[in-house]
Structure 1
Amino acid sequence: MRSLRTRLAGAVAVLGLLATGVSQTATAAEGATAADSAPPGSEPRNLVFGTAATQSSTYEGGAANRAADGSTNGSWGRGSVSHTGLESQPYWQTDLGAAKKVDKVVVWNRTDCCTERLSNFWVLASDTPITARSLTDARNQAGVTATKVSSLSGPSAQVAMTRSARYLRIQLEGTDYLSLAEVQAFGDEVVSPSADAQKWVKHSPFGMFLHFNMSTYQNTQWADPNGNPADFNPTALDPEQWAQSMKDAGMKFGVLTAKHHDGFSLWDTAQSDYDVARSPYKGGKGDIVREYVDAMHAKGLKVGIYFSIWDRHNGDSTELIQNQLRELLTKYGQIDYLWFDGWGWHVPYSKIPYQPVRDMIREVSPHTVVANNDHFGTLQTSDVIVYEVPVQGMPPATNARPVDASDTLDTNSTWFHTTSTGEPRPASDIVDNLHKANAGNALFLLNVGPDRTGRLPQNYVDRLKEIGSTS
């Protein structure tokens, strides 16, 4: 979780531009898309996200796929900017994979510096590959539609078009660097909520988040990734108490932090030596995920697992992620809910692509519902849209998409139990937020961090009972 981070910026105003023909300068307009009439809960699909982007050259690692990773952050330091070298008429382009109806293209500028560079550029679209190197030749290529954008009055420019296109290119007129935060394209394709996600939110309205891992023993919210496994040593671990407290509160499921950003795993993973098997803890089955799952099943509760894509000990690797997820999804029976963190906002999708990981999950565990805390607010990277309540506030009261409202019982909004953790909030506050969430098609995921013994503090146990008796 991001207790020290500010919320990613939400929607921003963009400059509407309407393409009026081949090689015409765009004029301001807005224009609706076919996706506007999609079923409730659906959203326009960004056709560029995750596509195979290329560019005329690459400057210091500013790879082309950074402008197709879903992030409009626009900061070079955050890995959000594609960047060519200094050259004549540099370009960025992508292949949508098939000819698709395109109603508009949105080009996002970087936000940290050099914003004036993105001016006098052209948006080119074609059903066939755009092979010419020079801008003039590319514009004159048969089947190419070209629209000029002279300047941006905000962080992005929107170019409206009505055509089929498979290939898109952004190209400068003069000599400069071409740097882009993101390129998006929208047409008549939509992303709709999955039946499993809608069912999950409806039938699992209330759950417990259990932040319990190495951070608990280092007395911090983000543990040192080079910590000593010997630090992790619960003396009275009691997953049965966790599960009973969930039942007492009227909850239907839990979510345990199997691996947080520091990379320490609460199961004996074959992919790393930084796990519970190397710790002094030998109680129960020596596998805390196993103990948790067994306790949940014994109480008739559904099972959720938190997994950080950002791994500061083992590094960022698609292979590592897939292998560890395969362990979690095949060793413990059905995992109902998989809650990702660190993806998109720290490890970009240009580094760890979303689709291969999601496809693997569907293959291994078809009915596992994914919640992804990237703060992008899109179903393209999550089955359930996450609202981190202490950072973002409660989700909208009227909402057609499946939503997760994750909050803390702690008055100090800590996730892991530390010396900074305060008293539990009043039951009335929690019940009020629970009702607000459920009224807006959201489940409510309430965090209670076990202490260093491995048990929930008694004042929290008592408050959970109170919540259950009044909700």
Structure 2
Amino acid sequence: MYRTIARRANTLLALASIAVALTTSQNSPAQNAVDVKPTPQQTAWQDMEFGVILHFGTNTFLDREWGDGTADPKVFNPTQLNTDQWMKAIKASGAKYVVMVAKHHDGFCLWPTGQTDYSIKASPWKDGKGDLVREAANAARANGLRFGIYLSPWDRHEPKYKDSAEYDKYYNAELEELVQRYGDLAEFWLDGAGSAGHVYNFPKIIETLRTYQPNTIVFADTALFEYGDARWAGDESGSVGYQVWNVIDRHGYLRWRPIEVDTPLRNVHWFWHPKDEKSLKSLPDLLDSYENSVGHGGQWMLGVAPDDRGLLPDSDVARLRELGDALQQRYSHSLLQQHLPVDNNVTNALDGNTDTFWSAPAGSHAATLEVKLAKPVTFDHAMTMEWLVEGQQIQRYSIDAWTDGAWHTIVQSEAIGHKKIDRFPAVTAQRVRLNILTSAGEARIREFGLFRLDETATAAK
């Protein structure tokens, strides 16, 4: 989905005029990262943790991943399309929001745009009177999911694409339709695929988004980092192989840019393909992806694709439900909820309520959160969440267990961020502590939990 996009030479100048799209304030290079805080919109988005992106279009009917813009609109004719079926399956997976690909790189539009005839208006589906984006948006919200939109900048069909200025007008007109017709958007995707050498007026795109959708989170890949509220992990493996820091340096300016980790439900394929059942990822693979994305402080974006009937295949529906059931089983009950009486401050990190948090002593740069249980428990996973409203503070930490009359470190790592899931060989202990070894400011912990999962994981295989 991703390739390099050319950027305007005046990017830095544009940043100053659209600061609302970036962070709550301008930041100088001398500022410490601890001073950079997320917007309320960014923290709300990070709290959703897991979304789904839907790919469906002419490619679905032609066994393609990358359309070239020449497909006849008449090939788009799903005979059993049911967006409610999609959203029920997505809801069952544990996802909190869905992003609809309204236009992929082939330029075919899934809503009745007034900008081109290359859309569902020219298809036989519903005699050209359908609006798939509206159906998807309505079904998502009816099933308790938030809704977002992907609109590809690269357009392999539109003749105006050869003229950057003319295409800017065209793209912005499409964008204005989408941001005004389909309610509040949780996320808007800017994909950098396929546009090497083309110049876009991204400041205008961002201005339009901020005018009509001030609360949407703009996801932008590595080519468009100047414009996004969230950044790409760098590949589509579904795993983050490094410590995630929400604050990153962009041209000498510190910005809060949480990371999104995208991967398809079927290996390699974002669109549905016939005779492709073997590519469906296993439940252990999906759980591993979750733990290496959400569990590394990132946002997990899972690609799901309806088939040429307009339905999610039965195998995909079943796998999504298995995923949701497994996540619920694995992480819904922390062993630390069996703790002996502690003060209210510690309770705030153990109560399963992410609106409360434990605070380290004022002015501290190291601290310890210790818990004693009613009886020894065996655990092999720990889940820790940092309170990020005041910024990402924790730099180094350890998790220690009291065994054989002494404290023993079972995990030592860097960066907690929104959520950190640590895995380790099973340990049995009655006393456990989270040791904040170094923090830029006062550490705050929303949740600290222990889980016994290796038996669950073995059963899933």
TM range (shorter): 0.5 to 0.7
Report the CA distance shift for 1:313/1:216 in structure 2 as closer, same or farther (over 3 A). same
CA distance in 2, matches of 1:277, 1:196: 39
Q: Gaps (5+ residues) in structure 1? A: 10-48, 51-64, 71-93, 99-185
Report the CA distance shift for 1:421/1:95 in structure 2 as closer, same or farther (over 3 A). closer
Q: Deviations over 1:98-153 (max 9, x none)?
A: 9xxxxxxxxxxxxxxxxxxxxxxxxxxxxxxxxxxxxxxxxxxxxxxxxxxxxxxx
Single out whichever of 251-260 and 439-448 deviates more from structure 2: 439-448
Question: What's the secondary structure of 1:270's corresponding residue?
Answer: coil
Q: From the two aligned structures, give the one with the greater helix fraction.
A: 2
Q: Report the alpha carbon displacement of residue 347 of structure 1 after superposing the two structures with TM.
A: 5.0
Does 1:417 pair with 2:266?
A: no
Does 1:439 pair with 2:295?
A: yes
Does 1:450 pair with 2:298?
A: no
TM-score (norm 1): 0.58
Q: Report the alpha carbon displacement of residue 387 of structure 1 after superposing the two structures with TM.
A: 2.5
CA distance in 1, matches of 2:75, 2:128: 18
Question: What's the secondary structure of 1:342's corresponding residue?
Answer: coil
Query: Match of 2:245?
Result: 399
How many residues end up aligned between the 2 structures?
A: 297
Q: Tell me if structure 2 keeps the 8 A contact 1:207–1:445.
A: yes
Q: Deviations over 1:75-110 (max 9, x none)?
A: xxxxxxxxxxxxxxxxxxx99999xxxxxxxxxxxx
Query: Match of 2:233?
Result: 387
Q: Which amino acid aligns with 2:271?
A: F
Single out whichever of 197-206 and 326-335 deviates more from structure 2: 197-206
Report the CA distance shift for 1:193/1:215 in structure 2 as closer, same or farther (over 3 A). farther
CA distance in 1, matches of 2:14, 2:173: 30
Q: Deviations over 1:428-465 (max 9, x none)?
A: 22122212212333110111111101111101100111
Q: Which amino acid aligns with 1:387?
A: A
Q: What pairs with 1:58-77 in structure 2 (closer than 5 Å)?
A: 65=9
CA distance in 1, matches of 2:211, 2:121: 28
Q: Tell me if structure 1 keeps the 8 A contact 2:239–2:289.
A: no
Does 1:321 pair with 2:176?
A: no
Does 1:465 pair with 2:321?
A: yes
Q: What pairs with 1:9-408 in structure 2 (closer than 5 Å)?
A: 50=8, 65=9, 194-282=38-126, 286-314=130-158, 315-316=160-161, 317-342=167-192, 346=195, 351-373=199-221, 375-376=222-223, 378=225, 380-387=226-233, 389-390=235-236, 394=240, 396-400=242-246, 401-408=257-264
CA distance in 2, matches of 1:418, 1:255: 20
Q: Note the aligned Cα RMSD (angstroms).
A: 3.1
Q: Tell me if structure 2 keeps the 8 A contact 1:201–1:442.
A: no
CA distance in 1, matches of 2:304, 2:14: 46
Report the CA distance shift for 1:370/1:234 in structure 2 as closer, same or farther (over 3 A). same
Question: What's the secondary structure of 1:320's corresponding residue?
Answer: helix
Instruction: Select which of 283, 292, 310 maps to 1:427.
Output: 283
Query: Match of 2:388?
Result: none
Q: Tell me if structure 2 keeps the 8 A contact 1:201–1:402.
A: no
Question: What's the secondary structure of 1:282's corresponding residue?
Answer: helix
Question: What's the secondary structure of 1:243's corresponding residue?
Answer: helix
Question: What's the secondary structure of 1:254's corresponding residue?
Answer: strand
Q: Report the alpha carbon displacement of residue 196 of structure 1 after superposing the two structures with TM.
A: 4.5
User: Between the two proteins, what is the percent identity of the paired residues?
Assistant: 31
Q: Which amino acid aligns with 1:322?
A: N
Q: Tell me if structure 2 keeps the 8 A contact 1:221–1:415.
A: yes
Query: Match of 1:121?
Result: none
Question: What's the secondary structure of 1:274's corresponding residue?
Answer: coil
Report the CA distance shift for 1:229/1:365 in structure 2 as closer, same or farther (over 3 A). same
Q: Tell me if structure 2 keeps the 8 A contact 1:387–1:395.
A: no
Q: Which amino acid aligns with 2:215?
A: H
Question: What's the secondary structure of 2:240's corresponding residue?
Answer: coil
CA distance in 2, matches of 1:318, 1:95: 16
CA distance in 2, matches of 1:363, 1:371: 17
CA distance in 2, matches of 1:407, 1:277: 31
Q: Which amino acid aligns with 1:264?
A: F
Q: Report the alpha carbon displacement of residue 389 of structure 1 after superposing the two structures with TM.
A: 3.9
Q: Tell me if structure 2 keeps the 8 A contact 1:397–1:440.
A: yes
Q: Report the alpha carbon displacement of residue 198 of structure 1 after superposing the two structures with TM.
A: 2.4
Report the CA distance shift for 1:364/1:323 in structure 2 as closer, same or farther (over 3 A). same
Q: Which amino acid aligns with 1:366?
A: P
